[in-house]
Amino acid sequence: EIVLTQSPGTLSLSPGERATLSCTTSQSVSSSYLAWYQQKPGQAPRLLIYGASRRPTGIPDRFSVSGSGTDFTLTISRLEPEDFAVYYCQQYGGSPPVTFGGGTRVEIK
Amino acid sequence: QVQLEQSGAEVKKPGASVKVSCKASGYRFLSYAVDWVRQAPGQGLEWMGRINPDNGKTKYSQKFQGRVTFGSDTSATTTHLELRSLTSEDTAVYYCARFRLDVIGGSCFDYWGQGTLITVSS
């Protein structure tokens, strides 16, 4: 099983600051098959970025990803009030074919 | 627009079974697999498995193998999950999600149902 480890567990930042979230995989994963989701309390996860750098319609460009192999990073360039949430990375292609990271909570400092 | 509409919350006793449905609309139902993901209270996301409505093929997480069954009704554009032998550890929100796999590379869950809370309690 490909294990995804997200760090930090919690990130305390102020609006306007830059957020850097890490996702480390136990085996090499193609960036094409790594996705990121945002989840707010009481809501379903929402797709943020997939396929290395593709953002669905409506996702602002302050969200970006980088990395390859086993180390991936989600960056939020300038935090907006609506960005405070939990973020999950997810991979496809191992066995089992889908695994999620444990999540990073971005909270208001 | 694409929507996945799930059935309502349920309370079940230990040992019982539960069935959760997920009605798809706004896209060609047979063109996308549907996965099931659950989230225990205060916990992360856990993948349960996938059904391809086009051919009925399923793939289950080993953790749930033998205790879960996925089905689909193409005429109703609905998939469902049945989970048996429930315990308190099955208390969670269960989500269906559309699985997207692009030919040129890239995969994700691009649309999610609103979630169904299943509470297992005596």
Contacts of B112 in chain A (CB under 8 A): 44-46
Task: Return d(Cα A30, Cα A13) in angstroms, integer.
Answer: 30
Instruction: Return the pLDDT at A11.
Output: 97
Are A97 and B59 within 8 A, CB to CB? yes
Q: Which residues of B touch A92 (CB under 8 A)?
A: 101, 107-108
Extract the tokens encoding B96.
Answer: 């269906």
- pLDDT at residue A1, as a whole number: 86
Cβ B58 vs Cβ B50: under 8 Å: yes
A67-108 per-position pLDDT tens digit: 999 999 999 999 999 999 999 999 998 767 899 999 999 999
What mean pLDDT comes out for the span B33-52?
97
Collapse the DSSP code of B78 into the 3-class scheme (helix H, G, I; strand E, B; otherwise coil) and give the result: strand
Q: Which residue of B has its CA nearest to A43?
A: B114
% of chain B residues with pLDDT over 90: 94
Of the candidates A32, A88, A98, which has its C-beta nearest B105's C-beta? A32
Query: Strands (DSSP E) along chain B, which ranges?
Result: 3-6, 10-12, 18-25, 33-39, 46-51, 58-60, 68-73, 78-83, 92-101, 107-112, 116-120
Degrees to nearest 5, angle at CA B62 with B99 and B75: 40
B108 at interface of A, judged by CB pairs closer than 8 A: yes
| Average pLDDT of the segment spanning A8-28 | 96
Question: Nearest CA to A3 among A104, A94, A106?
Answer: A94
Closest Cβ opposite residue B110 in set A56, A93, A101: A56
HSE-up of B101 (CA within 13 Å, CB side)? 12
A52 pLDDT above the threshold of 90: no
Q: What is the pLDDT of residue B15?
A: 97
Residue in A closest to B107 by C-alpha: A33
Q: Do B107 and A54 touch (CB under 8 A)?
A: no
Whether the pLDDT of residue B57 is over 90: the answer is yes
Identity of the amino acid at A95: S
Question: What pLDDT, on the 0 to 100 scale, is given for residue B33?
Answer: 96
CB B6 within 8 A of CB B20: yes
Q: In what order do the strands lie in the sheet with B68-73?
A: B3-6, B18-25, B78-83, B68-73
For the cut 90, the answer to whether the pLDDT of residue B92 exceeds it is yes
Cβ neighbours for B104, distance < 8 A, ≥ 6 positions apart: none
Mutate to test the interface with B, among A91, A98, A99, A100 (most CBs of B within 10 A): A98
What does each C-alpha distance from B99 to A41, A98, B18, B70 come to in angstroms? Answer: 23, 11, 23, 15
Partners of A37 on chain B (C-beta within 8 Å) are: 45, 109
CB contact under 8 A, A52 and B106: yes
A32 vs A10, which has greater pLDDT?
A10
Look at strands B78-83 and B18-25 and give their pairing. antiparallel
Q: Is the pLDDT of residue B83 over 90?
A: yes
Q: How far apart are CA A64 and CA A48, in angstroms?
A: 9
State mean pLDDT over B7-18: 98
Per-residue pLDDT averaged across A29-50, rounded? 95
Residues 6+ apart with CB under 8 A from A63: A36, A48, A49, A55, A74, A75, A76, A77
Write the CB contacts of A107 (distance below 8 Å, at least 6 apart in sequence): A10, A11, A12, A13, A84
